[in-house]
A and B are shown apart, each in its own frame.
Chain A
Amino acid sequence: MPFDVSRIREDFPILRQRVHDRPLVYLDNAATTQRPASVIAAISNYYSADNSNVHRGVHDLSERATRSYEEARVKVQRFLHARDPREIVFVRGTTEAINLVAQSYCRRLIQSGDEILVSAMEHHSNIVPWQMISEERGAALRVIPINDQGEINLDDFDKLLSDRTRFVSVPHVSHVLGTVNPIKEIVEMAHRRNVAVLVDGAQSAPHLLEIDVSDLDCDFYAFSGHKLYGPTGIGVLYGKSHLFESMIPYQGGGDMISSVSFEKTIYNAPPYKFEAGTPNIAGVIGLGAAIDYLKLIGSEAATAYEQELLSYAMSSLSEVRGVRVVGTAAKKAAVISFVVENVHPHDVGTILDLEGIAVRTGHCCAEPLMRRFGLTAVTRASIAFYNTKNEIDSLISGLARVRETFN
């Protein structure tokens, strides 16, 4: 059955609007995706019917809230193909997940002279937490290079791996280049040296929609709800059970303890020991609803449709004079960054905005990557399964307007 995008679009109320008197063309999905009505309804229903604190009350509302919260954990577990719901920790987002691993796993592990490996395509959130830990522990951050297409060469990675390597953190999908990285191979190579790997899944969750942490065999996997058609302020850290067991929490408070006295506190078991304080209950429930929605529309069909849009967009862009795409990996998700000759990305973005087209412009939280390509900024169009060929055509004619204005 062909993917019926017009029916899908009806599920997203925000898409039915005009911006600057033009139909909204939302192509900033790598920054945040939109939410289907079912997610909005799940949040609203929770607040209207079940709102209560979790894991605390004996009363009915609290039991309902707790049940929905824990059901969502199981949905995430299945979504990621994790073995056990206790391997799923709810956090604020990818950023917090990475910081949690840096503080709770790496801080005790890293010694002076050790090395942490990241790649040249990182989002700042997968650089700064490692720099903070490296600085504190006297370790060094080493960078896996990428080629001009925006791909990691596994031989380069192999050369960087050494007895000093203590941790590897890489993105599954690049938020600027769209590159899908060979995670399974990276994990295998790191594991041969007993080095654990965190995968930044912020961009893979929305585009691949099929993630199997057991197959990837990664040690940690992080993603954000708001990039998976779910709410902001909620994210997930997956971690292997034996690692979570051995890690010490980095935030203390309610819910993360099993007993407290002024002399000694005994921590709760994972995942709770990493979920100090009242969590984002509505966010968790909304994320569960987003995963339900993806199951309903069929992630395979959605991904195939997105790839079709990607090829259409790439070939359309190749015909626009003066436009150069940055990131042409063989395995690429629907994220397209480009530069327009002699026009600053901000000016591109502003002119497109007047045409109702939302794109990202700037360094996209990846200054080192910009430098790698000799740029300070790009324009990024990122596609979701609710976008259409018509919208790609709008982008192309918007770019013609850009050239008209500046030529």
Chain B
Amino acid sequence: MPRLYSDILLDHFRKPRNQGSLSAPAISYEEFNPLCGDRIRIEVELSGDVISAARFQGDGCAISIAAASMLTEMIVGLRIGDDVSNDDLVSALRSDIPPARKKCALLPLEALRAGFERYRPRHSGRK
């Protein structure tokens, strides 16, 4: 049985990967959980329609921070609009996340999806 807070989750919480911001992100979106006050911003840089870099900033619990950190690693190389499924992200945490805390794990994914939805490619007419 997986532990509640697996070593990999704790590792991503203690040493978050890709924390910070990008200088010119194509997508930048912050999702807020009004029930607990957690907020996670996801930023994505594109090269064509492929994600070339991702960053997150956030204020949240160990689960949401670790999930955001992992998500930024999982999406590099994906095409815009490619979906990371809820299950993929939750299982990457390798933890026994209680039902009441699933929304913490999914907060970064919701930020990413909302960012995708709002994304309008800039017309690169000049070049």
Q: Among the listed stretches A83-91, A245-253, A349-357, which one makes contact with chain B, having 4 or more residues with CB under 8 Å of it?
A: A349-357
Tell me if A376 counts as interface (CB < 8 A to partner B). yes
Nearest chain B residue, comparing its CB with the CB of A346: B61
Q: Is the CB of A347 within 8 A of B59?
A: no
Tell me if B74 counts as interface (CB < 8 A to partner A). no
A sample of 17 cross-chain residue pairs with beta-carbon separation below 8 angstroms, ordered by A number, consists of A344-B38, A344-B62, A346-B36, A346-B38, A346-B63, A346-B101, A350-B4, A351-B4, A353-B98, A354-B4, A362-B35, A363-B37, A367-B37, A377-B36, A377-B37, A406-B10, A406-B62
Chain B: residues with CB nearer than 8 A to chain A?
4-5, 10, 13, 35-38, 59-63, 98, 100-101, 104
A256 to B38, CA, bound (A): 45
Chain A: residues with CB nearer than 8 A to chain B?
343-347, 350-351, 353-354, 361-363, 367, 370, 376-377, 405-406
Determine the main DSSP class of A at the interface with B: helix
Nearest chain A residue, comparing its CB with the CB of B101: A350
Q: Is the CB of A344 within 8 A of B60?
A: yes
Q: Is the CB of B61 within 8 A of A363?
A: no
**Residues of A contacting B10 with CB < 8 Å?**
405-406
> Within the complex, which residue of A346, A376, A405, A406 is in contact with B104, where a contact is CB–CB below 8 Å?
A346
Q: A346-B36, A377-B37 given. 8 additional CB < 8 A pairs? A: A344-B60, A344-B61, A345-B61, A347-B5, A350-B4, A362-B37, A405-B5, A406-B10
**Residues of B contacting A347 with CB < 8 Å?**
5, 61-63
A405 to B66, CA, bound (A): 15
**Residues of B contacting A351 with CB < 8 Å?**
4
Q: Is the CB of B59 within 8 A of A376?
A: yes
**Residues of B contacting A354 with CB < 8 Å?**
4
A377 to B63, CA, bound (A): 15
Nearest CB in chain A: distance from B8 CB, A: 14
